[in-house]
Amino acid sequence: MTAILRAEWFKLRKSKMVPIILAGPIIGLFIGLSANLEDNMSGVSINEWYIALFSMNLTYALLFLPLITGVLASLICRYEHHSGGWKQLLALPVTRGKVLVAKYVLIVLLVMAMQLLYLCSVFAVGMIKGIRI
């Protein structure tokens, strides 16, 4: 199984995967920095973290996360779609299930890396805006 994962990772090394993974957290960072809900909430005591998280997570979780996950999945399967790669891949002495599980695990790992970067951008927004824990 690890050999299949290494082969899938080897195929992705030269692709434009890093800018795609960085796109979501950077967009979330800019949305969090541009959100200024304190003016609209005068007289109401709401935790500043709730405001920052609400403004960032609303667009990120509903729009960018599913979109970027689909792009990563298509990027992983791109090589197999070119010139009959699925036929060649499935003719190897590896079961179809192992190949599909390896692709799924790679997608999950890439999305987890993107989520960790997004968590860093949430904390960066809090530090830049001076929000206390």
What would the pLDDT profile of 75-89 be if each residue is shown by its tens digit? 888 877 777 777 777
pLDDT in the model for residue 53: 85
Domain that holds residue 70: 2-129
Q: What is the total count of domains within the chain?
A: 1
The model's pLDDT over 7-18, given as tens digits with 9 standing for 90+, comes to 778 877 878 888
d(CA 11, CA 85): 12
pTM across the whole model: 0.82
For the chain, give the percent of residues with pLDDT over 70.
93
**51: left (phi > 0), else alpha (psi -120 to 50), else beta?**
alpha
